[in-house]
Structures are given as structure tokens and as C-alpha cells.
Amino acid sequence: MTMTHETSSTDSAPELKTAAFSRALNAGMRRAMEADGHVLLMGEDIGRLGGVFRVTEGLQAEFGEQRVLDTPLAESGLVGTAIGLAMAGFRPVVEIQFDGFVFPGFDQITTQLAKLTNRYEGVLQMPVVIRIPYGGHIGAVEHHQESPEAYFTHTPGLRVVAPSTPNDAYWMIQDAIASPDPIIFFEPKAQYWAKGEIDVSGRALPLHASRVVRRGTDVTLVGHGAMVTTLLRAAALAESEGTSCEVIDLRSLSPVDYGPILDSVRRTGRMVYAQEAPGFTSLGSEVAATVMEKAFFALESPVLRVSGFDVPFPPAKLEGIYLPDPDRILEAVDRALAY
């Protein structure tokens, strides 16, 4: 699939193409590589194989082995090499094969990559993107369905984002690659095969903006990644029962764009945050606390959270119990309305 960027007039219809989430990522990386010869991709099996999820399929054949590198199974060395390349003027994009595999490279990310720009007082930039497929819904084994977002949002010096639609995947990967700062780019595995329209005529939102995806009046539902789809399903069911839910896609996990969230909560008076990750000291905890601080007098009930349980991710047969579903979200909506 070839995608071009064209500037359209304000009175013309946007140029739309339909693609799966994974193909939108592929097209976004291709466009970034075409625009800048310093962009290169690195990861385990991303070249000839095209990655486990085929996100980089065809890119090595197009750009060569010097720009799409198959690396050894060594995440610490992979991230460390990317740091060195960034110091030399390149823009490396690193693929971590699965979420649970990032931890061998965690030290390099949190103690080196995140801190180097500050250590050099801003003189040295670190334009490194770490792509991490994350989350459940694929029936995989241990270390393949985790949601480690909070580790990285807790680390100063890192920017953390998570697209939920093909359009966001296409534009956000390009914005992340162009950023002078290190970006942790979480890709919801459950969305890889989801298809949607891509407006290739121009991006609609900045990289770190949250987005209202469904308007409502009674309760604000907030989440990111694959959870946005679950929230939309819950909102549709709630509407059939007479409750109007507004749904907000966080998109950027660090920094968080609180403007649309606070505006919504001040209108609805209620909020439910949903995530796949365990709830204790999580991103949902931070968002809930901030909303309570900044919109306290608008709230008609406490901010409620729906999350994975505080246990290691279970075997595939139990993931349906572990992961939040529309029923658990609607139960929280009912509790919020009952106050």
C-alpha cells in the first residue's frame, strides 16, 4: 500500500484510505524513512520476516539491510546501540518483540536514554523511538500480554504514547520519529488487525493531545489503546439503557493532555477510567488523582477505576476474566450514577 501526503484546500474532502492498524504503522514508518535518510529500524526478526506481527514487512527489501536491521536477541544491547546511534546523528526506531521482553533493556531505557539529554543540559538530543506491542486479547503465554506503561510514565525524560486507531498509528509514529526526545511507543496488539480510515491529507491532532471519540452527558469514560474500543462498546450498551457516556482516548500517556478530560468531567460530573494494567500505582491512579484535584467541585461521585487485577497476567484461558470488559465498565458506571 502506497500512501502520499498531499495538502488539500479547506473546502475539499480529505483524502482517505482504509488500512489495518499494523499496515498503517508500516506506511507511517515508510514515509518517515523516505523523508529522512537518518531514520533506521532495529529489532529481532523485523527484516526478512517483517516482525512477529508483520508490522515492518517489506521495509528491508525496500530500504536495505543497513536501514532495517535484524538484531540479536539482546534487548539491552539493542537499546544501548540505539543510544549510540542517536548520539551519532541517527534516528533509530527500536522494536521490542513483545511487552514482557522489554525488561532486559529497562536499565538502558530508564537510566541512560531517559536521562542523557538532561545530563548534557539539553545539548545532546535522544531521538529514539522504542516500539512496544503491549496488552492482551490475543490468547498468548506469559510475558506476551503485559501492560507495563506505568514503569515508563513514571520515568522523567521519556515521552509515552499509545495510538488506538489506524489513523493515529499512521500519524503518531511519524511524529514520534520526528521528535527530538525519546518516545516509548505502545502498540495495542489487539488492534493490529483492526481496520479504519486514514486521512493522509493531514494530521488532525498533535502527538500529545487527548481526543473525545464519543460525545455524552452523564459519565466520562477515559482509557487508551485497545481499551478505547471496549469503552465504546460499553458506551453503546449504556445508551441502550438510557445513559449517555462520553468517551475520551488519552493517546498520550506522558505528558497527559488533561484539557478535554477536565472539560468533560465538569459537564458530566462523573468519570470512570479503564485500563488493562493492574490498578495499584498505575496510570489510572494518576489520572484519577489529578481529576479529583482539579475538578473536585464539579464531581457528583468519586472517580472510579476499572483495571486488570493486581496479579501476574494469567494463562490465556483466564484472560477474559482478567481483562476489563463492557460489563465491568458498566458496573462502574452504575456505581458512579448511584451516588
Strands (DSSP E) contained in the chain are: 16-20, 39-43, 68-70, 91-95, 129-134, 159-161, 183-188, 195-199, 211-214, 219-223, 245-249, 252-254, 271-278, 304-308
Give the Cα separation of 225 and 51 in Å (integer).
Answer: 20
Residue 37, exposed/middle/buried by CB under 10 A (0-12, 13-18, 19+)?
A: exposed
Q: In sequence order, which residues have a C-beta less than 8 Å from that of residue 178 and are 6 or more positions away?
A: 32, 127
CA-closest candidate to residue 282, choices 160, 191, 110: 160
| Residue 208 known to be catalytic | no
Q: In sequence order, which residues have a C-beta less than 8 Å from that of residue 14 and are 6 or more positions away?
A: 8, 199, 201, 202
Out of 137, 144, 154, 224, the active site residue is 144
Task: Record the cell numbers describing residue 114, joined without a space.
Answer: 531517559
Q: For residue 33, give the H/E element and its range.
A: helix 21-35
Distance of CA 275 to the CA centre of its chain: 12
**Residues 180, 135 contacting (CB under 8 angstroms):** no
Q: Kindly list the catalytic residues.
A: 144
